[in-house]
């Protein structure tokens, strides 16, 4: 009877498939045999997760202060570049705002040593906008002085009969010029075509600063337990006991 049973499937005995790892680490490409983590949705082993965490620059108060100082320096440099180009060429070219956004973003990224986040991005946007918009103030002053010098003789001849002019205080002048400078990108909409193009270019420059200060986003979850897969016969499909079968 024992010989007759050889080669006959034994339905009463459940056989389990070997437990082979179904997951691999997205970083080292090795099988994950134990608890695993998810980094931005990708599966990673514990060793690679620790290594990746160590590579992310920490967002500390000191890093933010350094980024702020470097960003201000970058904004001043971009402001000088914008004004210098306009005064040297006599042209106010909106494309310079792309360079301003690039300089501010890279400066902040350098100051933070790679750390970034939403507060870095907001500061970068503000500095880029102020550097570009406030450049309109010295440009306008220079153009007004040029016009004044061109009309100096005419104004000198009419000065005797002209009514006395009201002079504003220095603080009031600075306040008015500051407000005009901040609003200058939108004041250019008086010429719709030129104004809209200028705003679009300014937006692209701001996007440069926004992207450079985003930092590396690391969403880590875990550890997770690996799921075990067992191939076992369910009660509904299990064969009856071989009792009484010859």
Distance of CA 132 to the CA centre of its chain: 20
Q: Are residues 21 and 120 in the same domain?
A: no
User: For position 31, which CATH number holds?
Assistant: 2.10.110
Angle between helices 136-150 and 170-187 (to 10 degrees): 110
With 70 as the cut, is the pLDDT of residue 46 above it?
A: yes
> CA-CA distance, 45 to 26, in Å (whole number)?
8
* Cis-peptide into 99, omega within 30 deg: no
pLDDT band at 203 (very low <50, low <70, confident <90, very high): very high
User: Are the CB atoms for 49 and 222 separated by under 8 Å?
Assistant: yes
Residue 147 token pair: 């016009």
Predicted model pTM:
0.65
Does 244 fall in a domain? no
Considering 6-20, 115-129, 190-204, 208-222, the range whose residues carry the highest mean pLDDT is 115-129
Does 109 fall in a domain? yes
Q: Are residues 193 and 100 in the same domain?
A: yes
Q: What is the pLDDT of residue 31?
A: 85
Q: Are residues 26 and 68 in the same domain?
A: no
pLDDT tens-digit map of 78-101:
999 988 888 887 666 678 889 999
Does 191 fall in a domain? yes
pLDDT tens-digit map of 229-245:
333 334 444 444 444 44
Owning domain of residue 128: 61-150+172-212
Q: Are residues 99 and 185 in the same domain?
A: yes
Q: Are residues 135 and 98 in the same domain?
A: yes
Q: Are residues 41 and 81 in the same domain?
A: no
Does 206 fall in a domain? yes
Q: What is the pLDDT of residue 106?
A: 94
> CA-CA distance, 205 to 95, in Å (whole number)?
8
Q: What is the mean pLDDT of residues 126-135?
A: 91
Does 9 fall in a domain? no
Q: What is the mean pLDDT of residues 110-115?
A: 89
Q: What is the pLDDT of residue 91?
A: 66
Question: For all residues of the chain together, what is the average pLDDT?
Answer: 75
Q: Are residues 41 and 67 in the same domain?
A: no
Q: What is the pLDDT of residue 80?
A: 92
Does 91 fall in a domain? yes
Q: In terms of pLDDT, which residue wins out, 110 or 95?
A: 110
- The residue among 95, 107, 90 whose CA lies nearest residue 213 is 107
With 70 as the cut, is the pLDDT of residue 220 above it?
A: yes
Q: What is the pLDDT of residue 164?
A: 52
Q: Are residues 103 and 195 in the same domain?
A: yes
Q: Are residues 201 and 111 in the same domain?
A: yes
Does 166 fall in a domain? no
Q: In terms of pLDDT, which residue wins out, 146 or 168?
A: 146
Q: In terms of pLDDT, which residue wins out, 195 or 203?
A: 203
Measure CA of the first residue to CA of the last residue in the chain; give whole Å.
8
Q: Are residues 45 and 95 in the same domain?
A: no
Q: What is the pLDDT of residue 64?
A: 93
Q: Are residues 101 and 126 in the same domain?
A: yes
- 136 by Cβ neighbours in 10 Å (0-12 / 13-18 / 19+) ranks as buried
pLDDT tens-digit map of 148-165:
666 666 656 555 544 455
What are phi and psi for residue 21, nearest 5 degrees?
A: -65, 130
Q: What is the mean pLDDT of residues 114-123?
A: 91
pLDDT tens-digit map of 165-199:
555 666 676 777 778 777 778 877 777 887 788 88
As for how many domains the chain has, the answer is 2
Q: What is the pLDDT of residue 11?
A: 47
Does 182 fall in a domain? yes
Q: Are residues 138 and 35 in the same domain?
A: no
Q: What is the pLDDT of residue 38?
A: 83
């Amino acid at each position: 009877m024992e010989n007759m049973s050889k080669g006959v499937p034994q339905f009463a005995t459940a056989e389990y498939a070997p437990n082979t790892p179904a997951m691999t680490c997205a970083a080292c490409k090795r099988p994950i045999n134990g608890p695993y983590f998810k980094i931005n949705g990708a599966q990673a082993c514990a060793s690679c997760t620790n290594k990746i965490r160590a590579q992310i620059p920490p967002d500390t108060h000191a890093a933010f202060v350094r980024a702020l100082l470097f960003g201000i320096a970058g904004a001043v440099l971009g402001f000088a570049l914008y004004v210098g180009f306009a005064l040297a060429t006599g042209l106010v070219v909106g494309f310079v705002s792309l360079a301003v956004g690039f300089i501010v973003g890279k400066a902040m990224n350098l100051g933070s040593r790679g750390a970034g986040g939403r507060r870095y991005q907001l500061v970068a946007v503000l500095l880029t906008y102020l550097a570009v918009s406030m450049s309109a103030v010295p440009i306008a002053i220079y153009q007004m002085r040029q016009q004044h010098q061109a009309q100096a003789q005419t104004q000198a001849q009419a000065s005797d009969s002209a009514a006395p002019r009201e002079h504003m205080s220095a603080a009031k002048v600075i306040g008015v010029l500051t407000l005009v400078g901040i609003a200058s990108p939108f004041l250019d909409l008086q010429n719709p075509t030129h104004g809209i193009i200028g705003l679009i270019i300014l937006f692209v420059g701001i996007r440069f600063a926004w992207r450079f200060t985003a930092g590396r986003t690391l969403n880590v979850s875990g550890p997770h337990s690996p799921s075990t897969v067992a191939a076992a016969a369910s009660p509904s499909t299990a064969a009856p006991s071989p009792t009484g079968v010859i």
